[in-house]
Amino acid sequence: MTVPENVTWTWPTEIRFGPGRIAELADACHALGMARPLLVTDPGLAGFDMVIRALGDIRAAGLQADLFCDISPNPSGSDVTRGIGRLRSGNHDGIIALGGGSAMDAGKTIAFMAGQTLDMFTFEDKGDNWTRANHDAILPVIAVPTTAGTGSEVGRASVVIDEAERTKKILFHPRMLPGIVIEDPRLSVGLPPSITAWTGMDALAHCLEAFSAPGYHPMADGVALEGMRLVKEWLPVAVDDGANLEARGNMLVAATMGATAFQKGLGAIHSLSHPVGVLFDTHHGRTNAIVMPYVIAFNRVAVDARYRDLSRWLGLGDGGVDAVLKWVLELRRTIGIEHTLGQIGVDDHEVDEVVRQGLEDPTAATNPRPLTDDTFRRLFLDALEGRLC
């Protein structure tokens, strides 16, 4: 199906999709009652024309906007604290999170923490921690993704590094969901092929793990299936031709679908990728892409029946796990993803910490095959050294 030029959805939040819709940023601010928005982006984007123009346009519309870009590729608690300081000193009343996953997670967390009195990690996604927040103090967020991967623009959570514990923590609150999302495919034109590949594989990981997670959630399953079909069709095109707006648009949709679906759950791809990202400072999507086939193979006994449906939906025949695994390996080769964690600078000197953090990660609980100390250790070492069973 061809993606329309412009369309607006209202699920799971208001999404304004189409080339050129960044021009509606000031209108979106007014719609959410923002008069003094703080635009949060990463330092690599801060000097780009898209950010400079966005700031200029909303200021021309009478909004008192400022910029905060002092964030890391894997946002930390310190990054968020600095952002809260900037927000309060400028008396800002809302956040525009513009960029990839780091800007989204940092921006959403700054908006969430702006009026809280408890420590941010009090709100880790465990039990009913979220109920301890002052709901009325959470500021509105406009999300403008420039990469097609995390789907954080439609997420009710963020991932932030707790530096004291050297671990990634998922913070959750229903009101973290941005009030308006602007998905403009033109903003991702010019993204390097490697970043397009890494973020695209992140979108695939979200869809794949949501579909694989145990439990009954047919709506999430349906969204995840279509997201994977879009990745199969359009990610190689987007990597090969970064100016193809149809490919860019379809990958934005696939990323949004992945994050919508994974409310059902994630799994060992993420519970392994999270500690590796913290301990070895690796790109999240790239790490997900590398460990993906090892996790598929590990989960074989628990997912083969479901993967027969998946392989048919993707046009891979009735091969189940074998067909899906073959496709993932071919896709990785086509778009330039490494085969092992060792190829991106990971080693085994932190293996005990990887295992500890991975088993404690909330995403481990919804892996379709139970994870133990021994199996998780073997899974990490397999991905490190390239043993694919």
Q: What is the pLDDT of residues 227-273, one digit of tens each?
A: 999 999 999 999 999 999 999 999 999 999 999 999 999 999 999 99
71 close to 102: Cβ distance less than 8 angstroms = yes
Asked if residue 169 belongs to a domain, the reply is yes
pLDDT band at 4 (very low <50, low <70, confident <90, very high): low
Say if residue 46 is in the same domain as residue 93.
Answer: yes
Say if residue 168 is in the same domain as residue 202.
Answer: no
The dihedral region occupied by 336, where left means phi > 0, alpha psi between -120 and 50, and beta the remainder, is: left
| Average pLDDT estimate for 75-84 | 96
Say if residue 239 is in the same domain as residue 211.
Answer: yes
Say if residue 138 is in the same domain as residue 210.
Answer: no
Say if residue 223 is in the same domain as residue 152.
Answer: no
pLDDT band at 107 (very low <50, low <70, confident <90, very high): very high
| Average pLDDT estimate for 285-292 | 98
Predicted confidence (pLDDT) per residue in 333-344, tens digit: 999 999 999 999
| Average pLDDT estimate for 280-299 | 97
Domain residues for the domain of 290 are: 191-385
Say if residue 25 is in the same domain as residue 172.
Answer: yes
Say if residue 373 is in the same domain as residue 292.
Answer: yes
Q: What is the CB neighbour count within 10 angstroms for residue 12?
A: 17
Say if residue 221 is in the same domain as residue 307.
Answer: yes
Please tell me the predicted confidence (pLDDT) of residue 6.
86
- Which residue, 187, 209, 234, sits at the end of a domain? 187
Say if residue 23 is in the same domain as residue 154.
Answer: yes
CATH of the domain at 339: 1.20.1090.10
CATH of the domain at 136: 3.40.50.1970
Total tally of structural domains belonging to the chain: 2
Please tell me the predicted confidence (pLDDT) of residue 235.
98
Please tell me the predicted confidence (pLDDT) of residue 389.
77
Please tell me the predicted confidence (pLDDT) of residue 73.
87
Tell me how far CA of residue 278 lies from CA of 165, 357, 369, in angstroms: 10, 10, 24
| Average pLDDT estimate for 125-132 | 93
The fraction of the chain above a pLDDT of 70, given in percent, is 99
Asked if residue 210 belongs to a domain, the reply is yes
Please tell me the predicted confidence (pLDDT) of residue 5.
72
- Which residue, 145, 171, 187, sits at the end of a domain? 187
Please tell me the predicted confidence (pLDDT) of residue 2.
64
Please tell me the predicted confidence (pLDDT) of residue 1.
54
Tokens of 146: 């420039």
Asked if residue 1 belongs to a domain, the reply is no
| Average pLDDT estimate for 47-69 | 95
| Average pLDDT estimate for 138-154 | 96
In angstroms, the CA 183 to CA 20 distance is: 9
Asked if residue 2 belongs to a domain, the reply is no
pLDDT surpassing 90 at residue 190: no
Say if residue 210 is in the same domain as residue 179.
Answer: no
CA dihedral 200, 202, 207, 213 (to 10 degrees): 160
| Average pLDDT estimate for 169-183 | 96
- Which residue, 187, 206, 221, sits at the end of a domain? 187
Asked if residue 368 belongs to a domain, the reply is yes
| Average pLDDT estimate for 366-386 | 97
pLDDT surpassing 80 at residue 115: yes
Say if residue 373 is in the same domain as residue 230.
Answer: yes
Asked if residue 84 belongs to a domain, the reply is yes
What is the pTM for the complete model shown? 0.94
Asked if residue 110 belongs to a domain, the reply is yes
| Average pLDDT estimate for 120-147 | 95
User: HEC string of the chain?
Assistant: CCCCCCEEECCCCEEEECCCHHHHHHHHHHHCCCCCEEEECCCCCCCCHHHHHHHHHHHHCCCCCEEECCCCCCCEHHHHHHHHHHHHHCCCCEEEEEECHHHHHHHHHHHHHCCCCCCHHHHECCCCHHHHCCHHHCCCEEEEECCCCCCHHHCCEEEEEECCCCEEEEEECHHHCCCEEEECHHHHCCCCHHHHHHHHHHHHHHHHHHHHCCCCCHHHHHHHHHHHHHHHHHHHHHHHCCCCHHHHHHHHHHHHHHHHHHHHCCCHHHHHHHHHHHHHCCCHHHHHHHHHHHHHHHCHHHHHHHHHHHHHHCCCCCCHHHHHHHHHHHHHHHHCCCCCHHHHCCCCCCHHHHHHHHHHCHHHHHCCCCCCHHHHHHHHHHHHHCCCC
Say if residue 134 is in the same domain as residue 232.
Answer: no
Please tell me the predicted confidence (pLDDT) of residue 3.
62
Residue carrying structure tokens 């400079």: 52
pLDDT surpassing 60 at residue 55: yes
When mean pLDDT is compared across 5-14, 329-338, 359-368, the lowest value belongs to: 5-14
In angstroms, the CA 39 to CA 51 distance is: 9
Asked if residue 280 belongs to a domain, the reply is yes
